[in-house]
Amino acid sequence: MATGETGFDDVTYDLISVQYHALKAGHDYGQYVRDADNAGRQDIADFFRRVMDEDSARAKQCHEYIKELSGTSASGPALT
């Protein structure tokens, strides 16, 4: 696998990026849930909660893949 200037291969970098964005979005969704609750839109608040749960699961899956790659030659020099 090619390793870019970051020292991470593309797949590891991509997983870290997806994990970061999923976790960041999860933080933001808390406000969206509160906004929907305050507007009396339980249906929309429930939607945002589902989206938050999906991103949480996505971040967790990325973490598992990153752990799997860690310490292998596939991860690039930054994780070995």
Give how far Cα 42 sits from Cα of 17, 37, 48, 77, Å. 31, 6, 10, 48
Per-10-residue mean pLDDT for the chain, 80 residues long?
59 93 93 97 98 96 93 54
How is residue 23 written in tokens? Answer: 């976790």
pLDDT value of position 18: 96
Closest CA to 21 of 47, 46, 54, 48: 54
Does pTM top 0.85 for this prediction?
Answer: no
pLDDT value of position 79: 47
